[in-house]
């Protein structure tokens, strides 16, 4: 196991049509967008995910958990948890769930501020949301 604070991370923003992916280092506390994977009703191309995991070899995998504002869970939480369990089961990687409330909203704002269009699906909202999930997790580790 790597030294505390030196873990490599991969974060997933789970969605029914797209799954955003980001990578980063706990030491730096920041991430970078990596990929947007197409999904069919939440079912991704597992081979593509396997290739990303093999290439980046993260020490920890993070999956966004879209809690409601009152901390309650919803159907998407159950689906995100199932996705996390499948990542762990298929690839034997440690998976942690991360509260991702408002990350997609914040990512859309960043895309728009950078001159992106309202057609978010092609302009990196999901992978940027994954960056925010990763950075949220890093912030929580230092609190």
Q: What share of the chain is helix, strand, coil (3-state, %, to 5)?
A: 40, 25, 30
Confidence of residue 116 (pLDDT cuts 50, 70, 90): low
Domain ranges, ordered by start, for the chain = 8-142
Binned at pLDDT 50, 70 and 90, residue 122 comes out as very low
CB 2 within 8 A of CB 27: no
- Confirm or reject CATH 3.30.420.140 for domain 8-142, answering yes or no: yes
Regarding predicted confidence, which is higher, 95 or 112? 95
Residue of higher predicted confidence among 113 and 44: 44
Confidence (pTM): 0.83
Summarize the confidence of residues 1-10 as an average pLDDT. Answer: 73
The span from the CA of 96 to the CA of 65, in Å, is 10
| Residue 86 clears pLDDT 60, i.e. is over it | yes
pLDDT in tens, 21-78: 999 999 889 999 999 999 999 999 999 999 999 999 999 999 999 998 898 999 999 9
Q: How confident is residue 5, by pLDDT bands cut at 50, 70 and 90? A: low
């Amino acid at each position: 196991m790597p030294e505390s604070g030196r873990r490599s991370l991969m974060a997933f923003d789970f969605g029914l049509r797209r799954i955003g992916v980001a990578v980063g280092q706990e030491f730096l506390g920041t991430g970078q967008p990596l990929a947007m994977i197409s999904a069919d009703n939440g079912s991704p191309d597992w081979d593509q995910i396997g290739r990303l995991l093999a290439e980046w070899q993260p020490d920890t995998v993070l999956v966004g958990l879209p809690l409601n504002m009152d901390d309650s869970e919803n159907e998407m939480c159950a689906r995100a948890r199932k996705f996390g369990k499948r990542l762990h089961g298929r690839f034997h990687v440690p998976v942690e769930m991360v509260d991702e409330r408002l990350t997609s909203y914040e990512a859309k704002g960043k895309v728009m501020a950078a001159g992106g269009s309202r057609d978010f699906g092609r302009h990196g909202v999901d992978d940027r949301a994954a960056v925010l999930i990763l950075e949220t997790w890093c912030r929580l580790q230092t609190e």
